[in-house]
Amino acid sequence: MRISSKIEKAINDQISYEASAVNTYIAMGSWCERTGYDGSATFFFEQANEENTHMLKFVHYLNNAEAEAIIPAIEKPQSKFSSLESTFQAALKSEQTVTKLINDLVEIAEKEKDRATSLFLQWFISEQVEEEILFQTILQKFEIYGREKLAVYQIDQSLASIRSQVMAKKQISR
Ligand SMILES: [Fe+2]
Ligand SMILES: [Fe+2]
C-alpha cells in the first residue's frame, strides 16, 4: 500500500523529531554523568534508547509503505543544565511537544482517510500518555522531597529504577 505524499512528509518530520529526542536525552544523560547524578544518567540513556525505537518504528513504517524514510541531520542539543530538576522539566516539555505532534499526525491521517496510518499511530498515542505520566511522577518527587542536596541525591538514586516502578504501578491500575 502506497501512502500519500502528505503523510510521507509528516512522518518524515516526526522521524526528525524522534531523532533529535534521542540526542537530547543522550545530552541530558551526559550532563548527569559529568555532574555525578548517576541514577539519572542511567535513566536518560535508557530514555534515549526508547526514542531510538520510536524513530525506527516510523522508519520501518515508511519504508514498508513504498515510501522513503529520510534520516535527518540533527542540531546540537542543549548540553548544560542548571539543575537536575530543570533537565526533567525540559524533558516533560519535549514530551508534551511530541504528544501534540502525534495528535497532529493522527489528524492528517484521518483527513486523508488513511486508516492504516491512524491505526499505526494509536500505539504512539498511548506511549505519549505513559511518557508524560513518567516525567510528571519524577517532577513530583522534587515537590515531595524538596531541593536540598540530600533530597536531590536521594531522588537521583531512585531514578535508576523509576521506569520499572512507574510501569509496574500502571499495570496494576489497568
Ligand atoms: Fe518518542
Ligand atoms: Fe518520548
Instruction: 73-77: list long-range contacts, CB under 8 Å, 24+ apart.
Output: 74/16, 74/19, 74/20, 74/23, 75/20, 76/23, 77/20, 77/23, 77/24, 77/26, 77/27
How far CA 8 is from CA of 26, 39, 54, 119, in Å, comes to 27, 38, 16, 16
Question: What pLDDT does 150 receive?
Answer: 97
Q: How far is the CA of 124 from the centre of ligand 2 (A)?
A: 9
* Per-chain residues with Cβ under 5 A from ion ligand 2: 131
All three cell numbers of 19: 531523532
- CB contact at 8 A, 70 and 9: no
Which ligand has the nearest atom to the CA of 96?
2
Q: How far is the CA of 24 from the centre of ligand 2 (A)?
A: 11
Q: How far is the CA of 48 from the centre of ligand 2 (A)?
A: 8
Which ligand has the nearest atom to the CA of 16?
1
Domain membership of residue 166 as a residue range: 5-173
Q: How far is the CA of 98 from the centre of ligand 1 (A)?
A: 7
**pLDDT tier for residue 2 given thresholds of 50, 70 and 90:** confident
The Cα 33–Cα 44 span in angstroms is 10
Q: How far is the CA of 124 from the centre of ligand 1 (A)?
A: 8
- pLDDT tens-digit series, residues 140-159: 999 999 999 999 999 999 99
- pLDDT tens-digit series, residues 35-64: 999 999 999 999 999 999 999 999 999 999
The total domain count for the chain is: 1
Neighbours of 158 (CB within 10 A): 16
pLDDT at 163 over 90: no
CATH code at 121? 1.20.1260.10
- CB contact at 8 A, 41 and 33: yes
